[in-house]
């Protein structure tokens, strides 16, 4: 019988275990970092839990988490075999005998990693997983289900070449840039009106660099920065009439998040008062 599971990123979902208890209190979650060398990071690592397709947990996944914080898996294998295989994928061997944690359960990475592989290679990597369902109705289907299960070891069996790593990184950068463009077109349509696709991607890169110059590089921070960049562009905080923004950026004893909130609050105030044209 085919069973469905969610592999969730507890670093992306606040209070994940409390939410799981609320949504599926009779189902045991499994932290994949436990029993590995990364056990101390278990509270921010991947968590596997069985899911009923039409239950409240499935609804929360679809509405809140599926775009960036986990993947939907289906299998006919025993749960112990599924856990063992997924646990074996938590780290990867890179060139130069360097190992690194591998966030294969980020749906954006899952798609970039598996979608374009040859069937035999994809089947081997999926092990006991017969189907992976991703956002927008996209799914990855195993062709040959007769595959061995991987087992965790201190030295990863999974390897990524330098080119594969660069492809994953570039693919994720491209996806994030498109997400920025979509956000800008939805909330600040005047900024990119009539701008061609290639120039839109360049705009997204320039916006990221602008945010980074002021100490903001995390994705959620850059998404907040879009509003500032959409209205002020490269001149932000340096142009005439930007004194209040310079003061906010220079404020001491303020957390980066509070500083960003203050900048956005000032932008909102100026839009309301007409100091900036909406």
Give me the pLDDT at residue 164, please. 86
Give me the pLDDT at residue 91, please. 95
Q: CA 29, CA 82: separation in Å to the nearest integer?
A: 13
Q: Is the pTM of this model over 0.85?
A: no
Give me the pLDDT at residue 175, please. 82
- Report the candidate in 55, 53, 42 with the shortest Cα–Cα distance to residue 16: 42
The predicted-structure confidence for 93-129, as pLDDT tens digits, reads as follows: 998 888 999 999 999 889 889 988 899 999 999 999 9
Residue 152: pLDDT over 90: yes
Residue 241: pLDDT over 90: no
Residue 278: pLDDT over 80: no
Vertex 221: Cα angle to 220 and 223 (nearest 5): 65
- Per-residue tokens: 212: 């980074």
The residues spanned by each domain of the chain are 3-160, 166-273
Q: In the chain, what are the helix, strand and coil shares in percent, each to the nearest 5?
A: 50, 15, 35
Q: At what angle do helices 256-273 and 219-232 cross, to 10 degrees?
A: 30
Sheet holding 70-75, edge to edge: 30-31, 46-50, 3-9, 70-75, 129-133, 139-141
């Amino acid at each position: 019988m085919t069973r469905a599971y969610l592999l969730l990123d507890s670093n992306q979902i606040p209070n994940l275990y409390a939410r799981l208890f609320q949504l599926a209190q009779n189902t045991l979650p499994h932290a994949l970092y436990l029993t590995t060398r990364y056990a101390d990071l278990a509270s921010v690592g991947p968590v596997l839990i069985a899911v009923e397709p039409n239950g409240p947990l499935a609804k929360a996944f679809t509405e809140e988490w599926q775009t960036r914080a986990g993947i939907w898996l289906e299998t006919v294998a025993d749960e112990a075999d599924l856990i063992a295989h997924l646990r074996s994928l938590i780290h990867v061997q890179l060139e130069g005998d360097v190992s690194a944690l591998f966030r294969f359960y980020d749906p954006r990475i899952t798609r970039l990693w598996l979608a374009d592989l040859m069937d035999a290679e994809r089947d081997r990597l999926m092990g006991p997983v017969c189907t992976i369902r991703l956002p927008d109705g996209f799914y990855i289907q195993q062709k040959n289900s007769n595959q061995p299960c991987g087992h965790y070891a201190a030295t990863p069996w999974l390897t990524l070449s330098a080119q594969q790593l660069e492809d994953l990184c570039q693919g994720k950068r491209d996806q994030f840039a498109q997400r920025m463009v979509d956000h800008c077109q939805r909330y600040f349509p005047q900024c990119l009106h009539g701008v061609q696709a290639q120039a839109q991607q360049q705009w997204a890169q320039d916006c990221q660099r602008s945010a980074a110059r002021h100490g903001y590089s995390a994705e959620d921070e850059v998404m907040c920065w879009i509003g500032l960049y959409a209205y002020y562009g490269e001149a932000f905080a340096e142009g005439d009439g930007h004194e209040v923004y310079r003061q906010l950026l220079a404020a001491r004893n303020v957390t980066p998040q509070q500083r960003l909130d203050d900048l956005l609050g000032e932008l909102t105030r100026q839009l309301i008062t007409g100091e900036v044209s909406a």
